[in-house]
């Protein structure tokens, strides 16, 4: 069996930045274990599998270790492939484990409409500060831990102990963040070693949590957000009550063909 394969750099306008995702368009469903094995073979933070369903699309995402319920950058990458490589016209409605997700075209960018996730102050697990290598100013919890640091420079300089993070209970995903940054409203990084992603380069699902958090604090609903990983990426976000809209660029890095047995 032969399947098309695209590798897209998402939340960036140039190659070798943003977050790379593999996108595999399907004509028929694949077994879960085959999709998981393919994601492990690709060894990117996410592989997206997209299947046409009438006027809409079925979309699933796999890390090298597990299927996830929501992924921003691989959704952006999928919309890019459908629109720019396969000649489909946005908007796209994707049916996912998180419900229907809509992606629109906004000039050269794509705009994702995702459910917002609110946070509240929380007591972090013992050892979190030591594993991060710095003590957060405060800690909150939405789906993930949100660790507020003193400055964007401190966020960028962190060198966490990933093995120590993986050993802590209840720390599948950790966001570190601060207000400000070079020309942006907020800066963040994202660590998820327990699901096979020690540091995710640019994370849409982190921003459905960060945007409501910072919008309330900064007193404005539109935010320019920078994820300060080694690759780095930028998101133009807006908080709309129970939704977060995230706009981003994407660029094709590679396309080819997968050869599966049978």
Tens of pLDDT, residues 221-230: 999 999 999 9
Say if CB 31 and CB 59 are below 8 A apart: no
Name the active-site residue from 41, 46, 153, 154. Answer: 46
Confidence of residue 194 (pLDDT cuts 50, 70, 90): confident
d(CA 200, CA 10): 12
Q: Do domains 2-114+247-259 and 120-241 have the same CATH topology?
A: yes
Side-chain-side CA neighbours of 136 within 13 Å: the count stands at 25
Stated length of the chain: 262
Q: Does 41 qualify as catalytic in the annotation?
A: no
Confidence of residue 195 (pLDDT cuts 50, 70, 90): confident
The answer on pLDDT for 93 being more than 90 is yes
pLDDT of residue 100: 96
pLDDT of residue 161: 96
Question: Quick one: which of 122, 120, 235 has its CA closest to 171?
Answer: 122
Say if CB 225 and CB 235 are below 8 A apart: yes
The topology under which CATH files domain 2-114+247-259 is Diaminopimelate Epimerase; Chain A, domain 1 (3.10.310)
pLDDT of residue 256: 98
What is the DSSP code string of 3-16? EEEEEEEES-SSTT
Mean pLDDT confidence for 30-49: 97
Per CATH, domain 120-241 is 3.10.310.10: yes
Query: Any idea where the domains of the chain sit in the sequence?
Result: 2-114+247-259, 120-241
What is the pLDDT of the chain when averaged over all its residues? Answer: 96
Query: Rounded to the nearest 5°, which phi and psi values hold at 226?
Result: -120, 130
Mean pLDDT confidence for 144-149: 98
The answer on pLDDT for 262 being more than 90 is no
pTM of the full structure:
0.95
Say if CB 71 and CB 108 are below 8 A apart: no
pLDDT of residue 10: 98
Measure Cα distances from 120 to 42, 137, 141, 190, 209 in Å: 36, 14, 6, 18, 11
d(CA 59, CA 53): 10
d(CA 168, CA 174): 11
Element (H, E) at 155: helix 152-157
């Amino acid at each position: 069996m032969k399947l098309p394969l695209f590798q897209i750099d998402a939340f960036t306008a140039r190659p070798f930045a943003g977050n790379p995702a593999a996108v595999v368009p399907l004509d028929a469903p694949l077994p879960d274990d085959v999709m998981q094995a393919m994601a492990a073979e690709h060894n990117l933070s996410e592989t997206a599998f997209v299947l046409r369903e009438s006027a809409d699309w079925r979309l699933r995402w796999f890390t090298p270790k597990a299927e996830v319920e929501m992924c921003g950058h691989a959704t952006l990458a999928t919309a890019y492939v459908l629109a720019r490589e396969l000649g489909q016209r946005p908007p796209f409605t994707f049916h996912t484990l998180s419900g229907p997700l809509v992606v629109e075209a906004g000039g050269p960018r794509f705009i994702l409409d995702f459910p917002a996730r609110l946070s509240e102050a929380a007591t972090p697990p013992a050892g979190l500060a030591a594993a991060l290598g710095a003590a957060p100013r405060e800690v909150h919890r939405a789906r993930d831990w949100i660790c507020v640091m003193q400055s964007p420079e401190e966020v960028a300089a962190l060198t966490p102990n990933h093995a120590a993070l993986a050993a802590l209970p209840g720390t599948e995903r950790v966001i570190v963040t601060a207000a400000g940054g070079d020309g942006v409203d907020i800066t963040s990084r994202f660590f998820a070693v327990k699901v096979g992603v020690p540091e995710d380069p640019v994370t849409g699902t982190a921003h459905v949590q960060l945007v409501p958090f910072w919008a309330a604090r900064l007193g404005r609903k539109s935010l320019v957000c920078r994820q300060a990983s080694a690759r780095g990426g930028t998101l133009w976000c807006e908080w709309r009550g129970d939704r977060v809209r995230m706009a981003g660029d994407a660029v094709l890095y590679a396309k080819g063909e997968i050869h599966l047995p049978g």
